[in-house]
Chains A and B, each alone.
Chain A
Amino acid sequence: MMIRTRGLTRHFTRHQQTVEAVRGLDLDVREGELVAFLGPNGAGKSTTLRMLTTLIAPTSGTAEVAGYDVVRDQRDVRRSIGYVGQGNGAGHQQRGRDELVSQARSFGMSRAAARARAEELLDAFDLTEHAGRPVSTLSGGQRRRLDIAIGLVQSPRVMFLDEPSTGLDPQNRVNLQEQVRRLHHERGTTIVLTTHYLEEADAIADRVVVIDHGLVIADDTATALKSGLGDLVTLALATESDAVAAAEHGSRRLPGASVDRTGTVVRLRAPRASEAAPGLVTDLAGAGVGITRMEVASATLDDVFLDLTGRSLRESNETSTPDLEGAVA
């Protein structure tokens, strides 16, 4: 097991109030997994990552990373992991190449080995021509690539990325996701990342751990999470009586579906509802019920989050105050 936590808990005290940022997390991550912690700002994702990377100590509970205890064996944990934080790993006054060499030396590499490794990474991340410039003059995307390169210097067994794509434009975000996926496929590196972007968790992770209010509320593959919730079939009908008839036909064709009728609109949600939709259309045509509009949509992770918490993750991100993140920083 690459990561194993039991009852991992972290409290912060702020203005004489105790905030339970992470509440008794039990998590197992096998070697070679690519896991995304998904949740709104302040959910406890980053706090969890900061405990796993030895930056902060747990209030209670235990965590092991690469077989080492995050409190007792901090040095060994640090030697085993790569870390890309929310900020820039490379100092803004430094040059990219120097930072790579310095990081490699901190792992005990010889000067020659450190230089060779730096060139290798600069080349892999397409940074060679920018390596001699002060980091402050690099673009956001270049800096992020440099941060990842620094995190990879010692070819870590497990890589942690904290909100890696926050602040990047859509193009750079896609590039970054591509790099993370490649790293996972080519080297089999275990990767844990946090994100509050649904699309990101969906696009790159094998496994999505949904965290809210310091608790894991779901933990599965993105596909399983979505298919568990099922597809949404929306029918608009000419009259209300047609709508009532459509709702009846729908629950007959899709046993167990959740059916919701509002006026002349009927919403049916059930696993594999998209496959049953053509048959439903035939049923309704045979019964003389006129459909004016029809939509079939697969569930998104936002639907999953909404189903689990009653809140939309998209809206939580927009409205939540970054209270906890501030306490963590």
Chain B
Amino acid sequence: MSTATTLPSPGFVLDTWNVMTRELRPVLREPASVLFAMVQPLVFLALFAPLLPDTGDGSALQWFVPGIVAMTTLMGATFTGANLMQEMVTGSHERLLVSPLSRSSLLVGRALKEIVPMLMQTAIIVAVCTPFSFDLHLGGILVAVVILAGFSIGIGALSFALALAAKDQDWLFWTVQQTVIFPLLLLAGVLLPLEGAPGWLQLLSDLNPLTYVVEAVRPLFAGEYPLDTIGAGLLASAVVAVLGLVVGLRAMRASS
């Protein structure tokens, strides 16, 4: 057993693949379901973006869109625990717990699946914005997506942990989810830049991993590659991924 925790066995890889593909089926069967997590970001895009100062070269939109992509990633990944909560209430989670699938694969497979809706959502936003003076830099977007992937895995895992803790108390899940996301978004400077913010706000922003993700994703979407900013973004995303998986695995192992 001790080797299984340090080194993934072939069984773990197969189990994780099984869980991930199972989770993906409803998404791929009904791709429109990814729009659910996009309602709020798209509202911001439609109603907030026109208020941005007109710089004449479209740089305001160039600044704003990556933040909206990060917001969508955060929304989608925090919502995902609701699916697990539904499975806990209807009974299929219990069936999976009694199946030979390992507890770790039940969490990791679910968390890895978050990458797919994130990619679909990012593609939709980029496709919607490109006609409006938003320059498409595919290479940068690909690197940005790697950073967002780690972030969505970690946040998704935390959302599953929250669902496992909330059990059948929907209100608890949604209260925590809603309470967490808006401070994270505002402190990361998704809607407004935090330059000139008071020191305490700046400090909170510096402690927010999403800040580094957004700051790395912005130049990448503009086709620029500042290595230190990208490195910080990758590191923040990796920290969130590891933290999320550790917390999520603990919650899943305790699940009954």
Q: Which of B75-125 contact A (CB under 8 A)?
A: 83, 86-87, 89-92, 94-95, 97-102
Q: Which residue of A lies closest to B17 (CB)?
A: A105
A39 interface residue (CB < 8 Å to B): no
Complex CA gap A50/B25 in Å reads: 29
Interface size on B, residues (CB 8 A): 25
A79 interface residue (CB < 8 Å to B): yes
A54 engages B89 (CB within 8 Å): no
Q: Given A85-B94, A90-B92, is A78 in contact with B25 using a C-beta cutoff of 8 Å?
A: no
B91 engages A89 (CB within 8 Å): yes
B interface with A by C-beta (< 8 Å): 14-15, 18, 21-22, 25-26, 29, 83, 86-87, 89-92, 94-95, 97-102, 168, 256
Complex CA gap A86/B29 in Å reads: 28
A102 engages B18 (CB within 8 Å): yes
How far, in Å, is A192 (CB) from chain B's closest CB? 14
Contacts of A93 in B (CB 8 A): 26, 83, 86
B100 engages A92 (CB within 8 Å): no
How far, in Å, is A120 (CB) from chain B's closest CB? 19
A89 engages B18 (CB within 8 Å): no
Complex CA gap A37/B29 in Å reads: 41
6 additional contacts (CB under 8 A) given A55-B97, A78-B99: A90-B95, A92-B86, A92-B90, A93-B86, A102-B18, A329-B168
A263 interface residue (CB < 8 Å to B): no
Complex CA gap A99/B91 in Å reads: 13
Give 27 CB contacts A-B under 8 Å: A50-B256, A53-B98, A56-B256, A75-B100, A78-B98, A78-B99, A79-B100, A87-B90, A87-B91, A88-B90, A89-B92, A89-B94, A89-B95, A90-B92, A90-B95, A91-B22, A91-B90, A93-B86, A94-B26, A94-B92, A99-B92, A105-B14, A105-B18, A106-B18, A106-B99, A147-B91, A150-B95
B95 engages A83 (CB within 8 Å): yes
* Contact residues on A (Cβ < 8 Å of other chain), bracket: 20 to 34
A213 interface residue (CB < 8 Å to B): no
Interface of B is mostly: helix
Complex CA gap A105/B100 in Å reads: 10
A95 interface residue (CB < 8 Å to B): yes
B22 engages A94 (CB within 8 Å): yes
B101 engages A106 (CB within 8 Å): yes
Interface string of A70-108 (1 = CB under 8 A from B): 000001001101010111111111110011001101111
How far, in Å, is B11 (CB) from chain A's closest CB? 8
The 9 closest A-B pairs by CB, nearest first: A87-B91, A89-B95, A91-B92, A93-B26, A83-B98, A88-B91, A102-B22, A85-B94, A106-B99
Q: Which of A268-310 contact B (CB under 8 A)?
A: none
Q: Which residue of B lies closest to A50 (CB)?
A: B256
Complex CA gap A176/B61 in Å reads: 61
Complex CA gap A138/B102 in Å reads: 29
Contacts of A53 in B (CB 8 A): 98
A85 engages B18 (CB within 8 Å): no
Contacts of A86 in B (CB 8 A): 91
How far, in Å, is A92 (CB) from chain B's closest CB? 5
Complex CA gap A94/B101 in Å reads: 18
A103 engages B86 (CB within 8 Å): no
Q: Which residue of B lies closest to A160 (CB)?
A: B98
Contacts of B25 in A (CB 8 A): 94-95, 98
Complex CA gap A98/B100 in Å reads: 17
A106 engages B100 (CB within 8 Å): yes
Contacts of A56 in B (CB 8 A): 256
